[in-house]
Each structure stands twice: as structure tokens, then as C-alpha cells.
Structure 1
């Protein structure tokens, strides 16, 4: 199976996988509106891979067969300040001072 992978300029790391190049018929209109103008990133032969970035081949193929598309969201950004505070044994956020 060959799938088309599209990226968006609206959100770094967000990709839309389709089973057929330039066929957006199964993608909901609201999603296409939020995704913006899709830009073809690559054509990907699935039979040669087990994992694809952050998604397993099985999950991707199931989504393509069931929904007709797969939306890969960018990874959640790490809040380095929260991690640092936790490493020091502090609460994740500074408590508001009471007067």
C-alpha cells in the first residue's frame, strides 16, 4: 500500500495521511479547514515499514481503511520550567502569594 503524506503550514509536526494522493473526500470539512492548504510531503510505501514516525503501521493502516485518513498531531511540548520545579521537589507551578 502506498499512502500520501501531507503537511500543513499552520502547525509544525501535524501530518495528514491519505490512502490516495490528492483524494480528500473522506476528510471532514472542518478538519480540512483547520488543517489549511495541504502540501504533499511524501509518498510512502507502507509495505516496507513497520513504524512511521510516531504511529505504528497497524494503527495507520486501520485508520486509512476505516476512516479514509489519519491525522498525526505534533508531540506535546514539554514545559521545561515545570520539569525543573518538579526535579527540585517543588510544585509544578508557583503558588500565588496570599496577602
Structure 2
């Protein structure tokens, strides 16, 4: 399955995968507007065995088939002060 990947200019580390190139009409306006301008990054084949940096290939394939797009958000950062550092006696 081919995917066309676009990055958000307004939201760092946020990407939209489309099933058809430049088919932004598939992305709901409530999702599309906060992202601002989307810049084309690459075209890639999303196969079941393909390793993606921040998304599961099967989830991407399912979303592309069902909705025509997949939204990849930036990773969440956990608060380092909430972790047990093992320093308490």
C-alpha cells in the first residue's frame, strides 16, 4: 500500500499519511486546520513487515484503508520528576 507523507509546518514532529497524493479532503477540517500548511516529505510503500520510526505499519495501513489518512503525532514526553530514580535510601 502506497502512502504519501506530509509534515505540518505549524506542529513540529506531526505527520499526515495519505492514501492518495494531495487528497487533503479525506482529512477532517478539525484535524487539518490546526496543522496549518502540510509539506510533502516522501512517498513510501507501507507493507506489513515495514518498520516505521513512530507508528505501527499495520495501524497505518488500517487507517489508510478505512479513512484515507493516518495522523502521526509527536511522541509524548513524560515528566522525569515522576520517575523512581532509586535514590531514596
After the TM superposition, which segments of 4 or more aligned residues of structure 1 sit over 6 Å from their partners? none
TM-score (norm 1): 0.76
Which TM-score applies when normalising by structure 2?
A: 0.84
RMSD: 1.9
Alpha carbons of 1:10 and 1:30: their partners in 2 closer, same or farther (altered >3 Å)? same
**What is the aligned partner in structure 2 of residue 45 from structure 1?**
45
> What is the CA-CA distance between 1:78 and the residue it aligns to?
3.5
Counterpart for residue 67 of structure 1 = 67
Paired residue total: 87
1:44-69 per-position Cα deviation (integer Å, ceiling 9, x unaligned):
12238522111121111000011111
Secondary structure (helix, strand or coil) at the match of 1:62 reads: helix
Gaps of 5+ in 2: none
Q: Secondary structure at the match of 1:52?
A: coil
Q: For structure 1, which runs of at least 5 residues remain unmatched after alignment?
A: 90-99
How many angstroms apart in 2 are the aligned matches of 1:36 and 1:72? 15
